[in-house]
A and B are shown apart, each in its own frame.
Chain A
């Protein structure tokens, strides 16, 4: 089991550019989460998918952020246009099933720097 795979590991981009982060969840897991880690706010949930359907996107900061899950094995988080305040580590996580009783399995994260 390769675990949750995120790419890229690091992304440096200039303000105004589009950024796309990618995630492959663990096979067989039907829930996928995008989290953002910052010094100020800790780990905050951006969006949660269950069976490829977005269930809660209330954590997405603004319209510049969008996420898709076209199939059970792939998800993207896009920021367009990016701003320096978007600099953070973005984690993708998956769990076996939705609800609250399944532990989350995290990817290694993407460290985004927007200059």
Chain B
């Protein structure tokens, strides 16, 4: 199983601040990189599936970039709101069946 690492582990920001966090993954044999948002007491919800180097995807105030050559993806949140508070997970397909291996997540708390 290949390692997917996320940083920071947790993050507190003030409402209105913009923020970003990182997902690192092995750069060899790249297939795709997934981002999920996981609110407390709910289930993970897919944000993006990224497949192309240099790709940038956007969903409202949330965007993500991908660098497959160096093995990292950034997730950006512009103008954070309290409802953005959640754990953000990235996942990388690995193994013979390319099943998703999840990182440990970045726990974001947006303070009002």
Contact = CB atoms under 8 A, between A and B. Distances in A.
Interface of A: 33, 42-45, 48, 50, 55-56, 58, 91, 98-109
Given A100-B100, A104-B46, 13 more contacts: A33-B99, A42-B103, A42-B105, A43-B44, A55-B99, A56-B95, A56-B97, A91-B44, A101-B31, A103-B49, A104-B34, A104-B44, A106-B44
A102 to B, nearest CB: 7
Contacts of A45: 99-101
Interface string B75-101: 000000000000001010101111111
B59 interface: no
A107 B43 contact: yes
Interface range for B = 20 to 34
Contacts of B31: 99-101
Closest 6 A/B residue pairs (Cβ)? A100-B93, A103-B46, A106-B43, A100-B31, A100-B32, A43-B102
Contacts of A91: 43-44
Given A48-B97, A56-B97, A105 B104 contact: no
Interface in B23-45: 31-32, 34, 36, 42-45
Interface of B: 31-32, 34, 36, 42-46, 49, 51, 89, 91, 93, 95-105
B104 to A, nearest CB: 5
A45 B96 CA distance: 14
A105 B96 contact: no
